[in-house]
C-alpha cells in the first residue's frame, strides 16, 4: 500500500472531532515547506551568521561605523 493511501485510510478512520487537528497539522507542514523554500531561494540567507559583532550592532550601527 502506498504511503498516501495509508494516510487516507487512517484519516478516514478518525473521529470527526480529530479532523480539525489533522487540517491544522497539514497547514503547519505547508507553511514550513514554504518558509524553507523561501530561505533556499534567498541568496542573502546564505550570508546570515557568517560574521560576528556586538549584539546591538543593528540598532547602533552608526556609532560603530562613525564613532
**pLDDT tens digit string along 15-55?**
999 999 999 999 999 999 888 777 667 777 777 778 888 88
Q: Which residue has the cell 533556499?
A: 40
Q: Which helix (H) or strand (E) holds 64?
A: helix 61-66
User: What does the pLDDT look like over 32-43, one tens digit per residue?
Assistant: 988 877 766 777
**Is the distance from CB of 21 to CB of 13 less than 8 angstroms?**
no
**Where are the alpha helices (H) located in the chain, listed in sequence order?**
3-12, 19-41, 61-66
- What is the C-alpha separation between 11 and 21, in angstroms, rounded? 11
Q: Rounded to two decimals, what is the model's pTM?
A: 0.50
Domains of the chain, residue spans: 1-47
Amino acid at each position: 500500500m502506498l504511503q498516501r493511501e495509508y494516510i487516507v485510510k487512517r484519516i478516514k478512520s478518525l473521529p470527526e472531532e480529530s479532523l480539525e487537528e489533522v487540517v491544522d497539522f497539514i497547514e503547519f507542514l505547508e507553511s514550513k515547506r514554504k518558509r524553507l523554500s523561501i530561505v533556499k531561494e534567498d541568496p542573502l540567507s546564505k550570508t546570515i551568521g557568517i560574521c560576528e559583532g556586538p549584539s546591538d550592532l543593528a540598532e547602533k550601527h552608526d556609532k560603530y561605523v562613525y564613532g
